[in-house]
Chains A and B, each alone.
Chain A
């Protein structure tokens, strides 16, 4: 909280500078647009759970303090807004400009996010054989929430002595602090679900500097941003249960788990701290009626503990030109290409010797020699992507028959490893669209548009569900090496899992009517997509959204509005349920 009050103090000090300056300059040099202060008190009453009724609002009581200050001076302008109700409910915004040489935008915002406390008593079950699911809530009285706070400052300096050069610099600090509910499960002896507090103290820092040189209606700009993300609390741990056979109560599963209580408490959470460097170079050139925009981005992200790394290289270009008689035609094209490169990860599971039973003292791979033992995790995100968006526009929405827009978007994702169809790693999307916007009468604005997209090999999980393996262990013993194992069951899956369309249609209708200070707006969107491309895959979704709102100002003394929104979505998908018996 010290940081909050320090930032608040800085903001208030900066805000009072113009007030003091005003007094010095006098009324002749200052225009006061707004100057308001208030002091009050707030209280609240709660009946029932605040978890969703006040998911992002504080409850309790406290002061209500506020300032609005907007002034224009001979030397520049100041716009300040500040409101404090609680350390988790405060907002400050300060923008100022000094002689058009130094411009600054600053923001501090805090809010709360209630997470509730999910009871876990439903994790209780038993069979006739005594195998059970049970639970332990190690912190049953905890209420979970996170306090979110962001501070951001963006600044620009334009030195009069260096014509066309602008130096920008800024800083952003985002924090999430509080406690979350963390659940972990122990296997074998029983399915034992444990819940405990997980302190959270996340900080993301961004600092940037950029240089922009502008001439005529062109510019070129380069920037560097450094980012760090840290999660400061120590890892939480859990002492897992002894891996016992649930009926015999013997340690026959010791060679099938990587650890149990014999290894002591184990860390059960992750600290994904990262460092990131981002370089950007962009330019705008206007020449011979063409507007040309180009941008290059190079970034590198590294986990501070595992040293896993992601490199991103991207380029963007955009061109636009009006042509034809009365410049009625307008062509615009935007293209982007980028590549993502990740390192591979090798996983070598711990193999413990068997402690009892028919597989003692062998390890798991001693009895299942075809089990891989070492797993190479290939980077699913490693890919080359090309995106193209082209628009051809005829007419003006404000004149005559209106404006017609024809759209063709093309995307191609070429993944290095991840298959989206058997033997295929590419996804290609073509989207065609046409729209019409016009002002058919005084006070009217209308829009109608349709889009159709066709996607070859949309994202899906190949052989992600529906195992065809039927286990028939000899003699009924799970320790018979011929008995089916989980990984063998996974290997026999034949159905694709998908939640992305292979084609979709979208239609939009919008209208606005403005008359004598009254306005009626209405919009409707219909979307329908499906995917039958994969094995045993049948996915479909359609949705409709409708909105109508009426604003009225019968007289300068009063205004009112009324609105209605309707959303409806339905989805069909294939569900597979594995049947276990033992």
Chain B
């Protein structure tokens, strides 16, 4: 993560914040060691557990940023603009893909006195 705030001129300021998160989690593979012995007399049963660990696979990244600018005029009035951006990526979707990319734009006129 990181960010900066910069006064370009006495009446113009900008700011920027950035955060990046990568999260992974999962189970180690496990086996039902007696599977072959159990499965032999039961051909219709499946005792293969070798892929069960993949049901608990988590791999996501999240990028979030916020860029803003504030311009002051007539000493007490100001114009404020903000762009917030989030990109969430599910690199191992299971039930459904929760990945999404969203931008929020804000433009405001204000007065400080």
Q: Interface residues, chain A, CB within 8 Å of chain B?
A: 34-54, 57, 59, 64, 66, 116, 118-119, 122, 127-129, 556-565, 575, 577, 579, 581
Residues A53 and B86 in contact in the complex (CB < 8 Å), given A563-B2, A577-B32: yes
What B residues does A558 contact at CB under 8 A?
4-7
Q: Interface residues, chain B, CB within 8 Å of chain A?
A: 1-7, 30, 32, 38, 42, 44-45, 47, 49, 60, 62, 78, 80, 86-88, 90, 95-113
Shortest CB-to-CB span from A126 to chain B, Å, is: 11
| Cα distance, A34 to B113, chains bound together (Å) | 7
| Cα distance, A1 to B84, chains bound together (Å) | 27
User: What are 7 A-B contacts with C-beta separation under 8 Å?
Assistant: A41-B108, A42-B107, A48-B99, A48-B101, A59-B102, A557-B6, A559-B4
| Cα distance, A275 to B97, chains bound together (Å) | 41
* Interface pair B103/A40, CB less than 8 Å apart: no
* Interface pair A122/B7, CB less than 8 Å apart: no
Q: Which one of A47, A557, A560, A581 contacts B100 once the chains associate, using CB atoms below 8 Å?
A: A47
What B residues does A38 contact at CB under 8 A?
78, 80, 108-111
* Interface pair A128/B44, CB less than 8 Å apart: yes
* Interface pair B106/A52, CB less than 8 Å apart: no
Residues A37 and B4 in contact in the complex (CB < 8 Å), given A47-B101, A49-B100: no
* Interface pair A48/B100, CB less than 8 Å apart: yes
Shortest CB-to-CB span from B16 to chain A, Å, is: 9
Known: A49-B97, A59-B102, A559-B4; 18 extra A-B contacts, CB below 8 A, are A35-B112, A38-B110, A38-B111, A40-B80, A40-B107, A41-B107, A44-B104, A47-B102, A48-B97, A49-B98, A51-B100, A52-B60, A53-B101, A57-B104, A66-B108, A577-B32, A577-B49, A581-B45
Give the A-B contact count at a CB cut-off of 8 A.
121
* Interface pair A122/B95, CB less than 8 Å apart: yes
| Cα distance, A34 to B112, chains bound together (Å) | 8
| Cα distance, A49 to B95, chains bound together (Å) | 13
| Cα distance, A508 to B7, chains bound together (Å) | 38
What B residues does A48 contact at CB under 8 A?
97, 99-101
What B residues does A116 contact at CB under 8 A?
96, 98
Shortest CB-to-CB span from A320 to chain B, Å, is: 39
What B residues does A556 contact at CB under 8 A?
7
Residues A562 and B87 in contact in the complex (CB < 8 Å), given A36-B112, A49-B98: no
What 10 A-B pairs have minimum CB-CB distances, sorted nearest first? Answer: A40-B108, A38-B110, A560-B4, A48-B100, A53-B100, A562-B2, A53-B88, A558-B6, A557-B7, A42-B106
* Interface pair B111/A562, CB less than 8 Å apart: no
Residues A39 and B108 in contact in the complex (CB < 8 Å), given A53-B88, A575-B30, A579-B47: yes
Q: Which residue on chain B has the smallest CB distance to residue A40? A: B108
Shortest CB-to-CB span from A378 to chain B, Å, is: 34
Q: Is the interface of A mostly helix, strand, loop or mixed?
A: strand
What A residues does B105 contact at CB under 8 A?
42-44
| Cα distance, A577 to B53, chains bound together (Å) | 13
* Interface pair A54/B106, CB less than 8 Å apart: no
Shortest CB-to-CB span from A551 to chain B, Å, is: 10
* Interface pair B102/A562, CB less than 8 Å apart: no
What B residues does A563 contact at CB under 8 A?
1-2
Q: Which one of B3, B44, B62, B80 contacts A127 once the chains associate, using CB atoms below 8 Å?
A: B44
Q: Which one of B30, B47, B96, B106 contacts A40 once the chains associate, using CB atoms below 8 Å?
A: B106
Q: Which residue on chain B has the smallest CB distance to residue A36? A: B112
| Cα distance, A66 to B111, chains bound together (Å) | 11
Residues A49 and B99 in contact in the complex (CB < 8 Å), given A40-B80, A558-B6, A581-B45: yes
* Interface pair A50/B45, CB less than 8 Å apart: no
Q: Which residue on chain B has the smallest CB distance to residue A575? A: B30
What B residues does A35 contact at CB under 8 A?
112-113
* Interface pair B100/A50, CB less than 8 Å apart: yes
Residues A54 and B100 in contact in the complex (CB < 8 Å), given A118-B95, A562-B1: yes
What A residues does B96 contact at CB under 8 A?
49, 116, 118-119
Shortest CB-to-CB span from B104 to chain A, Å, is: 5
What A residues does B95 contact at CB under 8 A?
118-119, 122
Shortest CB-to-CB span from A579 to chain B, Å, is: 7
What B residues does A565 contact at CB under 8 A?
1
| Cα distance, A64 to B109, chains bound together (Å) | 10
What A residues does B100 contact at CB under 8 A?
46-54
What A residues does B110 contact at CB under 8 A?
36-40, 66
| Cα distance, A371 to B106, chains bound together (Å) | 66
What B residues does A37 contact at CB under 8 A?
110-111
What A residues does B45 contact at CB under 8 A?
581
Shortest CB-to-CB span from A137 to chain B, Å, is: 12
Q: Which residue on chain B has the smallest CB distance to residue A41? A: B107
Shortest CB-to-CB span from B77 to chain A, Å, is: 10
| Cα distance, A54 to B102, chains bound together (Å) | 8
Shortest CB-to-CB span from A558 to chain B, Å, is: 4
What B residues does A57 contact at CB under 8 A?
102, 104
| Cα distance, A45 to B4, chains bound together (Å) | 25
* Interface pair B6/A50, CB less than 8 Å apart: no
* Interface pair A36/B111, CB less than 8 Å apart: yes
Which of A50, A52, A129 counts the most B-chain CB atoms under 10 A from its CB? A52
What A residues does B113 contact at CB under 8 A?
35
Shortest CB-to-CB span from A19 to chain B, Å, is: 11
| Cα distance, A57 to B64, chains bound together (Å) | 13
| Cα distance, A39 to B101, chains bound together (Å) | 27
What A residues does B1 contact at CB under 8 A?
562-565
What A residues does B106 contact at CB under 8 A?
40-42, 64
| Cα distance, A59 to B106, chains bound together (Å) | 12
What A residues does B7 contact at CB under 8 A?
556-558
